[in-house]
Each structure stands twice: as C-alpha cells, then as structure tokens.
Amino acid sequence: MKIGITGGMGCGKTYVSTILKKQGFPVYNCDDRARRLMKEDETIKSAVVELIGENAYTETGDLDKAVISQFIYSDEENRKKLNAIVHPRVKSDFLMWCNFQDSDVMFMECALLYESAFDDVVDKVLYVYASDEVRIHRIIKRDRINRTEAYLRMKSQMPEAEKMKRADFCIINNGNNNVLRQLHNIQI
C-alpha cells in the first residue's frame, strides 16, 4: 500500500512523516529527492541550467535556493517548465524506491501530489491540514521571508479545499492536536 502525504505549504507534512518514520514506516520525501536529483542527475542539471541559467547552481554545485525560488514564484509558466523537467524523474525514482522497501505500507511526502499528478502512483492520500495563520507563521520562520511572501507562496498552490476534498484521510496539525492519535485512528 502506497500512501501519499500532502497538504499546503507549512501544514506540517514533514512533522507527520517524522512520526511515521519513528514508527518504522518507510517515507519517501519528494522535495528532498527532487533537490538531490537536481544536483546529481546530469540530464536534469543541464535542463535546469538551460532554463534558468548557470546561476541556478552555486560554485560548489549546490542548488541556489534563492535563485530557484525567485524563478518559480515570479511566474506560473516558470514553475510549470521547471516542474516538467523534475517531476517525471522524481516519479520514476519513487517507483524504483518502492521496489526496495520491505514494508507492506509505505508513504510518499509530496506537497504537489495533485499538481504533479503523483496521485496516480499512490493507493490512498493523507491530507495534513493547518489553518492559514499557523501555516504563514511556520513559513515565515522556516524560510525567513515576510508575511506577504509567505501568503503569495501559499496561494500559488492548489486551493486547500480542493486537496482536502480529493484526499482519503485528513488530520489536523495546528500544533495543539495529537497528530499521533489521529494517525492511529486512520483505517488503512
């Protein structure tokens, strides 16, 4: 059983994934793998450089997060073009990763599960919900950006109501909810 974990930016998907890992479940993190593939896969790297420019990577070969963020959040078409390069490779990497797991249940943490059409490679979807105010606060703290930038980034994703409606399960993660208890109550 493959279960996708999704939710809006700042909802706490990684927190939920960490709980699941501690319980012994394998969890594939799409963002982490995408960054790794963008750094190590020469085909992706050359396509990214062609799209964004040499400044997409630092002198040490790491992704320049500020340059990438500016590129994808400045124009919807930019985001689509970069995603078209990276998402197919991440999807195939996830499927290969699944072949090496010993667990009957595995998870994929994916912020853009529906937007990237990754929902077609999972059996169920777990949606993590947090209020807009909680999410904005988390994004500001995590990304060191201002409130307006955090709000604009949140709004660049699929509406929360749409994601929630399409998901099989939903848990609330506003910081004062017992996420572990909620996870135990889900019937997989």
State the helix-helix crossing angle for 65-74 and 76-98, rounded to 10 degrees. Answer: 120
Structural domains in the chain plus CATH codes = 2-185 (3.40.50.300)
Residue entry with tokens 């995590």: 142
Specify the pLDDT at position 16.
Answer: 95
Specify the pLDDT at position 160.
Answer: 87
What predicted TM-score, i.e. pTM, was given to this entire model?
A: 0.89
Dist CA 182 CA 170 (whole Å): 9
Dist CA 7 CA 55 (whole Å): 30
CB-CB contact of 140 with 152 (8 Å): no
Dist CA 157 CA 154 (whole Å): 6
Specify the pLDDT at position 2.
Answer: 98
Tell me the pLDDT of the chain (188 aa) as tens digits: 999 999 999 999 999 999 999 999 999 999 999 999 999 999 999 999 999 999 999 999 999 999 998 999 899 899 999 999 999 999 999 999 999 999 999 999 999 999 999 999 999 999 999 999 999 999 999 989 999 988 888 887 888 889 999 999 999 999 877 888 888 888 76
List pLDDT tens digits, range 20-56. Answer: 999 999 999 999 999 999 999 999 999 999 999 999 9
